[in-house]
């Protein structure tokens, strides 16, 4: 049996076991298992998995410490080595659950920075906007992904940003650079940007909106930083990810 068939069988099995807690994230293009409000495991199936290599994974668990994080890394390697060539996602999930388990009554335990994220990105429920996404751009362990949305007012901009940041993986990225441009009721152009710590990135995205004549558009480029500096190449990736997202959303008057 080849990798594709094995993956299909494993996905059916995981869905039957975990139900709605196991799902595919259309934005991030990976599978998610929601352990609790404080812990999620994200799994990406690679062409080599399971016969010739493990799947890729990331996790979100702000309440755990460094020792627990290292345990997850080492235990996942041990499980892969023990079951090499076989499906292992169920074993990974069970081990992850053991490590990140939060006893009842300890819900007030927060990692450093968790309160800040919750306060900054808390958004009203039931807010939906139509967002289009670019394919990820990878360079030296950094990943860039663009997100674009049609807007007509500042309220739309905030709905757009908050909808994206409700995704935990996006919220914990190194940078979420924003630029927007729209005409208000007086037919005047309203525009601005937010570098989100990446100096000059926001102004470049705003310049791109002008070049593409995207007058009722907002764009965010998410960057997950892998620890390797890539210099000015990052600005090329910011612009390309934004451009692709704007094209996907049909928000550019120029190609």
pLDDT tens for each residue of 64-75 = 888 898 899 999
Question: Under 8 Å CB-to-CB from 142, ≥6 apart: which residues?
Answer: 223, 224, 225, 226, 228, 230, 234, 237
Higher pLDDT, 114 or 210: 210
**pLDDT tens column, 121-150:** 333 344 467 899 999 999 988 999 999 999
Instruction: Tell me the pLDDT of the chain averaged across its residues.
Output: 86
pLDDT higher than threshold 70 for residue 113: no
> Closest Cα partner for 133 from 35, 16, 251, 51?
251
pLDDT in tens, 12-28: 999 989 999 999 998 88
Where are the chain's structural domains? Answer: 3-112, 118-248
Q: Do domains 3-112 and 118-248 have the same CATH topology?
A: no
The predicted pLDDT at position 106 comes to 39
CATH architecture of the domain with residue range 3-112: Roll (3.10)
Mean pLDDT of 80-102: 90
CA 210 to chain centre: 27
- How many CB atoms within 10 Å of residue 125? 5
**What percent of the chain has a predicted confidence (pLDDT) above 70?**
89
At the fourth CATH level, which superfamily is domain 118-248?
Answer: Impact, N-terminal domain (3.30.230.30)
Largest CA distance in the chain: 66
In this structure, how many other beta carbons lie within 10 angstroms of the beta carbon of residue 61? 21
Convert the pLDDT of each residue in 199-243 to its tens digit: 999 999 999 999 998 989 999 999 999 889 999 999 999 999 999
């Amino acid at each position: 049996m080849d990798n594709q068939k094995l993956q299909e069988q494993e996905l059916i099995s995981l869905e039957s076991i975990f139900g709605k807690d196991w799902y595919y994230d259309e934005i991030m293009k990976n599978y998610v298992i929601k352990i609790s409000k404080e812990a999620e495991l994200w799994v990406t199936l690679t062409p080599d998995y399971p016969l010739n290599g493990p799947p890729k994974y990331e996790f979100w668990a702000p309440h755990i410490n460094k020792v627990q994080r290292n345990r997850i890394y080492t235990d996942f390697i041990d499980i892969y080595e023990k079951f090499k060539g076989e499906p292992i996602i169920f074993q990974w999930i069970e081990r992850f659950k053991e490590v990140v388990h939060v006893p009842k009554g300890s819900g007030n335990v927060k990692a450093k920075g968790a309160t800040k994220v919750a306060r900054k990105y808390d958004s009203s429920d039931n807010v939906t906007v139509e967002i289009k996404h670019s394919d990820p751009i990878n360079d030296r362990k950094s990943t860039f992904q663009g997100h674009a949305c049609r807007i007509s007012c500042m309220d739309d901009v905030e709905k757009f940003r908050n909808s994206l940041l409700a995704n935990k993986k996006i919220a914990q990225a190194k940078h979420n650079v924003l630029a927007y441009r729209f005409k208000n009721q007086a037919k005047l152009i309203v525009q601005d940007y937010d570098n989100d710590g990446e100096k000059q990135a926001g102004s470049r995205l705003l310049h791109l909106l002008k070049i593409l004549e995207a007058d009722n558009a907002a764009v965010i480029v998410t960057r997950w930083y892998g620890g390797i500096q890539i210099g000015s190449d990052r600005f090329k990736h910011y612009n390309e990810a934004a451009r692709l997202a704007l094209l996907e959303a049909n928000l550019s008057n120029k190609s």
